């Protein structure tokens, strides 16, 4: 049984959280997403990093900055005793106010009790 996973995808495929391998060729300006994860108690979390092949366009840079800022806000909001659903609500509001609501695939903290009671 494999206890890790990794992935690398780019271009149009970065519109998806997870992608399948292709034989497409990288080109200047492509955004490349690298991900690695390990299975822990049946759950498989993944950490990703994004890089640009060459100079990043201003639109892609804006999107990347909103993502990075949202990530940093989630880290700031995650505290002992705070329900993950509260963090998720702040996250959705934060991203929506920046004009990227339709780009969200899923929220932060998934699988950690977002629904709560």
Domain ranges across the chain? 1-55, 57-117
| Measured distance CA(93)–CA(111) in Å, rounded | 20
pLDDT in tens, the chain (117 residues): 566 667 777 777 666 666 777 788 888 888 888 877 777 777 767 777 888 888 888 988 888 899 889 989 999 998 888 888 899 899 999 999 999 888 777 778 765 544 444
pLDDT of residue 16: 67
pLDDT of residue 110: 60
- pTM for the model stands at 0.70
Crossing angle (nearest 10°) for helices 58-77 and 84-97: 150
What is the separation, in whole angstroms, between the first and last Cα of the chain? 35
Q: How many CB atoms lie within 10 A of CB 101?
A: 11
Residue 92 makes CB contacts below 8 A (sequence gap 6+) with: 101, 104, 107
With residue 96 as reference, give the H or E element that holds it. Answer: helix 84-97
């Amino acid at each position: 049984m494999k206890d890790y996973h990794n992935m690398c995808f780019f271009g149009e495929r970065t519109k998806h959280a997870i992608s399948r391998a292709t034989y497409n060729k990288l080109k200047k300006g492509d955004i490349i997403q690298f991900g690695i994860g390990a299975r822990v108690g049946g759950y498989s979390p993944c950490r990703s990093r994004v890089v640009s092949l060459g100079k990043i366009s201003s639109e892609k840079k804006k999107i990347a900055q909103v993502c990075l800022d949202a990530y940093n806000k989630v880290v700031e909001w995650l505290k002992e005793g705070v329900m993950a659903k509260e963090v998720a609500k702040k996250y959705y509001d934060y991203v929506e106010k920046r004009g990227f609501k339709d780009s969200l695939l899923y929220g932060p903290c998934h699988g950690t009790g977002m629904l709560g009671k």
